[in-house]
Amino acid sequence: MLVALLFSLAVPIRPAIQDTVRVRSDTLETIVVRATRTGAAAPTSQTQVDRAAIVRAHAGQDVPLALTGLTGITAASDAGGFSGYSSIRLRGIDQTRLTISLDGVPLNDPEDQVLYFSNVPDIANSIHSIRIQRGVGTSGFGTASFGGSLNFESIPIAATPRFGELQATGGSWGTGRLSVAGATGLSRGFAAYGRVSAQTTDGYRDHSGNDARSAFLSAGWFGARDALKLTGFAGRSKTQLAYYAASEAELAVDRRVNPMAPEEKDDFHQEMVSLRYSRSLSSATLLTATGYRNSAGGNYDVAVGSDLWNFNLSHAWYGLLTTVAVVGDGFAFTAGAHASRYHRDHYLFIRPDLTDRVYDNTGFKQEQSGFAKARWTRGSVDLHADLEVRRAAFQYRPTPGSSLGRPAIDWVFVNPKVGVTWRAASTVVAHVSLGRTGREPTRTDLFAGADDLDPSLAPEILPLDQVKPESVVDLETGLQWTGRTARLGFNAFAMRFRNEIAPIGTLSIIGSPLRRNVARSRRTGVELEGSWQPAPALTVSGNAMLLRARIAEFTDEATGSVYRDVPPLLSPGLIANLQAAWNVTRRVEVSLGARHTAASQLANDGSATQVLPAATVFDAAAAFRLQGHDLKVQVANLFDANAYSSGYTDGTTRYLFPIAGPTVLVTATLRWERR
């Protein structure tokens, strides 16, 4: 939780290159991002994190941990902090229902509908901006934006000057990182950027360390009306597993205890490459086409009785997307289309035998989608309309010799959204929007947590329509006021779900509850964001979300008990952040932040005892700049709060993931730049 305060620090960013070149190059380079992102003036709740804020906050930690402190976000790390298996929730909604993309290219694995951030270590080091959109938002590519979206924009290489940079981080719990990056600047139409990183940590919890390597590359040619850009990344992480939480009794003896065995480890890699062509057809029309390939693979061990099961996964994913954007007088129109093919192999060994596969199955998934969205401006009012049609299809190929055939299922979703933005005054903007979206189950949902479907399980799982698609209707309304030294934003939302795929089932082999449909559920709340600069050197900022989430009714599988009007898992009623940043001198900045998260449920029965305890955590930081070089010191959990990021229950015992005690990270950045 290092960044509840750092987004307020004011580290200046130099202008890149001449404005005339920057505007042209940036327009061609980022058109896909603008076409698929929620626009700054869109009628929805959103937060923009720029490059300066990313630089201030980032020390190599996983992206969910770096975003802690933003409105409505909670994050968890099974290792206690920095890196490992981390996860993010938005309005209490888990990350399988959040759209994650890089330059418009979808990153959610089609089967699991999630990005495993441990596979892409240090990726934030190569990100120019992040737009976090809450709620249904506007249409894009890939997994449905069910609870919101995280849209990453890579470094715009045509607008970045030539530079070289060396970063080194060291700190608590054996944490270390070394990163080397550089860019060529724009020369004769060509530009490139690259980064390589190595990082390691012992983890806060016992034997929960991580050893990771990563690389990022962008290269492109930029003409007067055309641009061609190649973007790619690769990562590999070797992690000591800690996805089982510890009981309260174990934590009372040792907060760092990890009930998993030291030999339970994993080793995964992931790669993505995209090639994008952009063409300015006229002064008002821009066309892009992008092809991409995403692949990942590796294995992880799980102790089952006296055996050590070695699960293996390997996927390849290809896609093509295109967008066209037209801007006229009082009118803007964007359309896009996307098609992809994906397959992932699943197979199992039982150590020490790594030759004979216990099973060997493959999941196939296809997707086709298209959207069109338009904005009409009439005086001080913008009218927004958006329609997406999306088809997803899944097919299963069982272990050779199986009698199951090839079970398959497909889904079609029609997702409309409308909204209005009203510029009521030069300092006041109001918005209202109404949208609907639908989403298919994950493979884990379809198979009730099983990694292999054999004839003994088939009667319980087949046909594959036993878990239905879920849908949400989302109403958002808000107001933003901007003054000379202050800014305030307010948003209210009401989300109504049908057949929500909720974690109401028994615990899976990795400790997370299986998910089933609940007929009706809802989330309503308000979000506040603001900042105030009472003096030129002092900035105070903060945000808060008040949430009321309820499941109307469900039946517990194990007991047959019926529960009505109960809160869902891990959806706290209050998340609040407050930060203060002080520029002591031109070269020295210090900051202090506090984050409070209210208690949330570990069980879906409304139990007052089976909850994740409320917590308030303080962080501090200091940054020093000397001749373009930087030194920053970050202290997380400054006052050693006895806090937990997540957990679960078996109905009688709470199992909790602790947040690391006071954690110090020191990052030195040496940078050379030619303007």
For 433, the 3-state DSSP assignment is strand
Tell me how far apart the alpha carbons of residues 227 and 287 are, in angstroms, rounded to a whole number.
11
**How many percent of the chain have pLDDT more than 90?**
83
Is 33 a member of any domain? Answer: yes
pLDDT digits (tens, 9 = 90+) for 227-250: 999 999 999 999 999 999 999 999
Answer yes or no: are the C-beta atoms of 501 and 494 closer than 8 Å.
no
Tell me how far apart the alpha carbons of residues 621 and 56 are, in angstroms, rounded to a whole number.
10
Nearest to 654 by CA among 570, 575, 564: 570
Helices and strands, number each (H, E), in the chain: 7, 36
374-410: b or e for each residue (b if 16 or more CB lie within 10 Å)?
Answer: ebebeeeebebebbbbbebebbbbbbeebebeebebe
- Residue 513 is encoded by which pair of tokens? 């509850």
Is 651 a member of any domain? Answer: yes
Locate tokens 């418009």: which residue?
A: 104
Is 297 a member of any domain? Answer: no
Is 18 a member of any domain? Answer: yes
**CB atoms < 10 A from the CB of 460, how many?**
11
Q: Is the pLDDT of residue 675 over 80?
A: no
User: H or E segment at 67?
Assistant: helix 63-67
* Neighbouring-strand partners of residue 396: 363
607-622: b or e for each residue (b if 16 or more CB lie within 10 Å)?
Answer: eeebbbeebebbbbbe
Tell me how far apart the alpha carbons of residues 642 and 662 are, in angstroms, rounded to a whole number.
11
How many Cα atoms within 13 Å fall on the side-chain side of residue 669?
Answer: 26
Is 464 a member of any domain? Answer: yes
- Considering only 225-229, 364-368, 601-605, which range has the smallest mean pLDDT? 601-605
- Residue 211 is encoded by which pair of tokens? 């050893």
Which residue segment(s) compose the domain that 262 sits in? 6-291+303-674
Is 123 a member of any domain? Answer: yes
Is 213 a member of any domain? Answer: yes
Is 419 a member of any domain? Answer: yes
60: left (phi over 0), alpha (psi -120 to 50) or beta: left
Q: What is the pLDDT of residue 36?
A: 58
Q: Is the pLDDT of residue 514 over 80?
A: no
Answer yes or no: are the C-beta atoms of 630 and 554 closer than 8 Å.
no
Question: At 448, which CATH number?
Answer: 2.40.170.20
Tell me how far apart the alpha carbons of residues 41 and 423 are, in angstroms, rounded to a whole number.
10
Q: What is the pLDDT of residue 502?
A: 87
pLDDT digits (tens, 9 = 90+) for 257-271: 999 999 999 999 999
How many distinct structural domains can be found in the chain?
1
Q: Is the pLDDT of residue 2 over 80?
A: no
